[in-house]
């Protein structure tokens, strides 16, 4: 390993692995470490939300991940109340039922493309930074020096604690349990379809006759979940005819709700569960981490490569912190709605009625799917500004998403002659009403018809190019 690498990613969960792929795509010398000697193969998350599907598709990786798909989940949900994703302009108005372990497997194997090692059985135990670098102590030895370190090391993040990030919020008030089980006797009422959660428990079909059961556990946090406890909860929810055969994996979790007060201190950044924890309601945590990684990847790569304009790296916090704050709020609300108290169930009935209203559905479906995020950006009030660019067919018949594979920004117009921006922006032609500039993470950072304001946006997001050719506007 060189004396000084570009980026050390701590944690080979979905967040760290996607980030490392994004950095690899940009040619950044990256190393990933994880304390686990081998991947566990266990999955907390079971599905990709539409926006996560879009970002993985834009890099050409979704198709390989979908070979592991075990279900297509036609809708989202808010505390078990159905959300309709079909109102959005997306190729993926549904959840893709693929287990977290399979997402991780693909992302880890794909790192070989970039020669990025995942060093397993290596635990981060200390961290210090200077103005020039970060020194990581691994297994007690000052081992790896990097220009930047990203803590993608989960809810108990060592990076977060060692660097001194604040993590305000509250501890868990309720304890729940999850068990992946088989039935030795399965009543007819237990379906092989994905259904919405209820207040009594949540049973989801996985592969090979295994079901995931989420329920209100009766044991203490961090203690094993015995099969007797699982059986008791299954009996309460589905009657005595439902008999558990085998419990393949079981764990406890709670509704603690905390978020790092900032996502960057100097050369150290946080992403994924290291930056935010919440009740896993609505299927959001892994998806939030993947989208953190996608937001951070190109910005960190630009910073290491030396062309990032001032402040670019800090937009990671400014953009992603509010998104996770909203998820923390919606998961707290979902947690309340599933309490089997008659008064709360009256509230739940009202929320169910309200969500039948298209505007209300759009508001929550947009948040939970990740499709309706709008980042605050300078440059006017165009409707598209700060939003993800939905896929489009271009003049040559190709799709916009096909051009995102290299991880570069795209400039789409009806024929403007665009400058070469040192390979940072690829120009494309399409029959569009207005020209737009899309960042490498798929968000529109400029839309309009004036070359001067385009120049300002290019410099704002992509710095000053070394070798510029003139811009000629031959559009309208």
Ligand X SMILES: Cc1cc2nc3c(=O)[nH]c(=O)nc-3n(C[C@H](O)[C@H](O)[C@H](O)COP(=O)(O)OP(=O)(O)OC[C@H]3O[C@@H](n4cnc5c(N)ncnc54)[C@H](O)[C@@H]3O)c2cc1C
| Site residues (vs ligand X, CB under 6 A) | 10-16, 33-36, 44-47, 100, 123-124, 152-154, 158, 178, 253, 272-273, 280, 283-287, 289
| Least separation in angstroms between CB 123 and ligand X | 4
Quick check: 153 and 165 in contact, CB under 8 A?
no
Q: Which is nearer to ligand X, 124 or 304 (CB)?
A: 124
CB of 88 to ligand X, least distance (A): 18
In our burial notation (b when 16+ CB lie closer than 10 A, e otherwise), range 196-223 reads ebebebbbbbbeeebbbbbbbbeeeeee
Q: Classify residue 113 by burial, with Cβ atoms within 10 Å: 0-12, 13-18, 19+.
A: exposed
List phi, psi (to 5°) of 49. -75, 160
The least CB distance from residue 15 to ligand X, in Å, is: 3
Q: Toward ligand X, which CB reaches closer, 7 or 10?
A: 10
- Give, as one character, the DSSP assignment of residue 264: E
Q: Helix, strand, coil % (nearest 5) of the chain?
A: 30, 25, 40
If one counts every other C-beta atom within 10 angstroms of the C-beta of residue 352, the result is 15
What is the closest distance, in whole angstroms, from the C-beta atom of residue 50 to ligand X in the complex? 12
Of residues 93 and 272, the one with the C-beta less far from ligand X: 272
Contacts of residue 433, defined as CB under 8 A and 6 or more positions apart, other chains included, come to none
**Are 263 and 275 in contact, with CB atoms under 8 Å apart?**
yes
- Selection from 62, 23, 57 nearest residue 402 by Cα: 57
Q: Report in angstroms how near the CB of residue 453 gets to ligand X at its nearest.
A: 37
Nearest to ligand X of 285, 448 (CB atom)? 285
Q: Rounded to the nearest whole angstrom, what is the least distance from the CB of residue 164 to ligand X in the complex? A: 16
Q: Residues 263, 274: contact at Cβ < 8 Å? A: no
Instruction: Tell me whether residue 281 or residue 337 sits nearer to ligand X (CB atom).
Output: 281
Instruction: Residue 122: name the closest of 101, 102, 139, 107 by CA.
Output: 139
Least separation in angstroms between residue 17's CB and ligand X is 7
Strand order in the sheet with 257-259: 169-170, 257-259, 276-277
- CB nearer ligand X, residue 78 or residue 411: 78
Minimum CB separation from ligand X for residue 153, in Å? Answer: 4
Specify the residue, 305 or 323, whose C-beta has the smaller distance to ligand X: 323
Nearer to ligand X, 124 or 302 (CB): 124
């Amino acid at each position: 390993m060189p004396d000084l690498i570009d980026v050390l990613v701590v944690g080979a969960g979905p967040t760290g692995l996607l980030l490392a792929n994004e950095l690899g795509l940009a040619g950044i010398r990256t190393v990933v470490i994880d304390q686990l000697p081998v991947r566990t193969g266990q999955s907390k998350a079971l599905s990709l939300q539409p926006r996560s599907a879009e970002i993985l598709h834009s890099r050409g990786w979704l198709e390989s991940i979908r070979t592991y798909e075990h279900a297509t989940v036609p809708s989202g949900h808010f505390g078990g109340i159905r959300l309709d994703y079909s109102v959005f302009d997306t190729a993926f108005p549904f959840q893709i039922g693929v287990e977290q372990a399979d997402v991780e497997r693909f992302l880890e194997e794909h790192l070989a493309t970039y020669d990025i090692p995942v060093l397993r059985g290596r635990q981060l135990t200390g961290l210090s930074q200077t103005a020039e670098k970060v020194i990581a102590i691994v297994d007690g030895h000052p081992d790896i020096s990097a220009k930047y370190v990203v803590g993608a090391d989960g809810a108990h993040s060592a990076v977060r604690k060692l660097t001194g990030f604040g993590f305000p919020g509250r501890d868990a008030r309720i304890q729940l349990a999850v068990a992946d089980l088989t039935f030795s006797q399965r009543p007819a009422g237990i379906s092989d379809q994905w259904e919405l959660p209820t207040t009594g428990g949540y049973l989801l079909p996985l592969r090979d006759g295994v079901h995931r059961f989420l329920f209100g556990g009766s044991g203490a946090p961090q203690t094993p979940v015995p099969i007797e406890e699982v059986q008791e909860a299954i009996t309460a929810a589905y009657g005595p005819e439902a008999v558990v055969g085998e419990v393949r994996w079981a764990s406890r979790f709670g509704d603690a709700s905390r978020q790092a007060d900032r996502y960057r201190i100097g050369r150290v950044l946080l992403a994924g569960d290291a930056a935010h924890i919440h009740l896993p309601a609505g299927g959001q945590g892994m998806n939030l981490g993947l989208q953190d990684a996608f937001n951070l990847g190109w910005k960190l790569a630009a910073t290491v490569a030396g062309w990032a304009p001032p402040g670019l790296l800090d937009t990671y916090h400014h953009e992603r912190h509010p998104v996770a704050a909203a998820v923390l709020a919606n998961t707290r609300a979902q947690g309340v709605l599933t309490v089997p108290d008659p008064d709360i169930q009256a509230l739940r009935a009202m929320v169910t009625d309200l969500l039948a209203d298209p505007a209300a559905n759009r508001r929550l479906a947009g948040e939970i799917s990740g499709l309706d995020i709008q980042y605050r950006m300078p440059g006017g009030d165009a409707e598209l500004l700060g939003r993800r660019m939905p896929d489009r067919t271009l003049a040559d018949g190709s799709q916009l998403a096909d051009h995102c594979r290299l991880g570069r920004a795209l400039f789409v117009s009806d024929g403007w002659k665009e400058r070469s921006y040192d390979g940072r922006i690829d120009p494309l032609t399409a029959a569009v009403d207005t020209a737009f500039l899309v960042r490498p993470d798929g968000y529109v950072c400029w839309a309009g018809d004036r070359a001067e304001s385009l120049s300002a946006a290019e410099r704002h997001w992509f710095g000053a190019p070394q070798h510029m050719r003139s811009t000629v506007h031959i559009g309208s």
